[in-house]
């Protein structure tokens, strides 16, 4: 079975500060890992994904994440927060890159203070 | 279409009423998923179609939930005799070969 734990249901940062959203996963097979962002009353938008190869993955809007197998982690970072980053972020794991269900964490709401 | 389209966007149902939620995936996408997102929670898997075949329905919470995709394109999620605990956002996602998942904006169901 696969599962995802997101530490911190709410994270608050100042504009321009580092964003760090934590994600740990459990998987009995090599995982495919995803970060999604959800704005109010909208669907999920893919930020980035890890499939195979390079463990540091760069995504849209300046976000990146590093796959650390030894720590079973896939934390999301952004060097400098922008007001428009305020949203809810979900980490997810799957057995395949596509065509297989995603198992999501409970989400982290990011607040950006001016 | 350009994206995954879900309708209606909002649905209010009286307890005990039957509802039908529609998902129109991206043209040509083979795989289609339904997820349920309760307030303050992450999406949870309900069911999965590959073309018209329902390959996994392990996430459907009860036999009141039924999904179909008869022609391998549009899908309908039906909930019979709705209960208050069915109140949630229902998300549909599709994916094709060599493409990741694209999510629709969801249907917010409120059972009163």
pLDDT of residue B111: 98
Rounded to a whole number, what is the distance in angstroms from the first to the last CA of chain B? Answer: 33
| Cβ distance of B43 and A42 shorter than 8 Å | no
| Residue B71 reports pLDDT greater than 60 | yes
What's the pLDDT band for B73 if we cut at 50, 70, 90?
very high
Mutate to test the interface with A, among B21, B25, B43, B99 (most CBs of A within 10 A): B43
Binding-face residues of B in 44-83 toward A, CB within 8 A: 44-45, 48, 50, 56, 59
Say whether pLDDT at A9 is over 90. yes
**d(C-alpha A75, C-alpha B2), whole Å:** 31
Interface contact flag, A45 B42, Cβ < 8 Å: no
Mean pLDDT, range B14-33, rounded to an integer: 96
Q: Over the stretch A42-76, which tens digit does the pLDDT of each residue have?
A: 889 999 999 988 899 999 999 999 999 999 999 99
Q: Are B31 and B55 in contact (CB under 8 A)?
A: no
- CB-CB under 8 Å, B30 with A43: no
Q: Given this model, what pLDDT does residue B98 score?
A: 66
Q: What is the pLDDT of residues A87-99, one digit of tens each?
A: 999 999 998 877 7
Mean pLDDT (whole number) for A26-38: 92
Question: CB A101 to CB B31 under 8 A?
Answer: no
Among residues B39, B5, B38, B10, which one has the least CA distance to residue B22?
A: B5
Give the separation between CA B61 and CA B64, rounded to whole angstroms: 8
Which residues is B91 bridged to in the sheet? Answer: B35
pLDDT band at residue B34 using 50, 70 and 90 as cut-offs: very high
Name the burial class of residue A95, with classes exposed (0-12), middle (13-18) and buried (19+) by CB atoms within 10 angstroms of its CB. Answer: middle
Give the Cα separation of A28 and B87 in Å (integer): 32
The helix/strand/coil state of B19 is: strand
> Under a CB-based contact definition with an 8 Å cutoff, are residues A26 and A3 in contact?
yes
**Per-residue pLDDT at B1 exceeds 70:** no
B84: pLDDT strictly greater than 80: yes
Share of chain A above pLDDT 70, in %: 100
Subunit contact B106:A98, Cβ cutoff 8 A: no
Residue B22: predicted pLDDT:
98
Amino acid B99: pLDDT: 66
């Amino acid at each position: 079975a696969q599962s995802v734990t997101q530490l911190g249901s709410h994270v608050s940062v100042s504009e321009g500060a580092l964003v760090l959203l934590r994600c740990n996963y459990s998987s009995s097979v090599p995982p495919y890992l995803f970060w999604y962002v959800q704005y109010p009353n909208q669907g999920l938008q893919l930020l980035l994904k890890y499939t195979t190869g390079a463990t540091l993955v760069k995504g849209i809007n300046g976000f990146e994440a590093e796959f650390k197998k030894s720590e079973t982690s896939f934390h999301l970072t952004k060097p400098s927060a922008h007001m428009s980053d305020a949203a809810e972020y979900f980490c997810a794991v799957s057995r395949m890159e596509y065509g297989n269900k995603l198992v999501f964490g409970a989400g982290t709401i990011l607040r950006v203070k001016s | 279409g350009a994206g995954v389209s879900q309708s209606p966007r909002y649905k209010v149902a009286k307890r005990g009423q039957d509802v039908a939620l529609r998902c129109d995936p991206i043209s040509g996408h083979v795989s289609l998923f339904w997820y349920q997102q309760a307030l303050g929670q992450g999406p949870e898997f309900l069911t999965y179609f590959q073309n018209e075949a329902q390959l996994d329905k392990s996430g459907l919470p009860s036999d009141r939930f039924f999904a179909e995709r008869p022609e391998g394109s549009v899908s309908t999620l039906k909930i019979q005799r709705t209960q208050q605990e069915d109140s949630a956002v229902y998300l549909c996602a599709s994916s094709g070969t060599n493409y990741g998942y694209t999510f629709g904006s969801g249907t917010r169901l409120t059972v009163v």
